[in-house]
Amino acid sequence: MRKTILALVSELLLFASVGIAQTHFGATAPSNDEIHKMLAEWIGRRRPNIGIVVGVVEPAGRRIASDGNFDDSDRRRVDGNTIFEINAIMKTFTSLLLADMARRGEIELSNPVSNYAPKGG
């Protein structure tokens, strides 16, 4: 189960990277129907009894697309409220957010992290 989730998160990073690239080059993110089709295709090629959830953040707002089940023995559908175990992959998300904040000028990478930590903590 853990390997499946890590594989899914890796693929999610691919979707996120495509979304970031599209945003920076002026294109729009795929519609939920298009994302659902991609997810169903991706899941069907790899393992039919897994699930994945994709969040899209764009100027028009936030939305979620999902497809699949919890796992082989749990046929419940995944959705925006499904909790996934992501473990060490969180470092990748953190670094993407850090890079984006630096690009927007919200932080300076040369500053000590204490400049951005809550006071008194």
Q: For the chain, which residues make up each domain, given as ranges?
A: 2-108
Report the pLDDT averaged over residues 13-17: 53
pLDDT tens readout for residues 45-85: 666 667 888 888 877 888 888 888 887 788 888 888 888 77
pLDDT at 87 over 80: no
Confidence of residue 110 (pLDDT cuts 50, 70, 90): very high
Residue 53: closest CA among 71, 68, 42, 37: 68
**Residue pair 43/12 in contact by the 8 Å Cβ criterion:** no
Q: What is the DSSP letter of 88?
A: G
Which parts of the chain are beta strand (E)?
A: 51-58, 61-68
Confidence of residue 25 (pLDDT cuts 50, 70, 90): very low
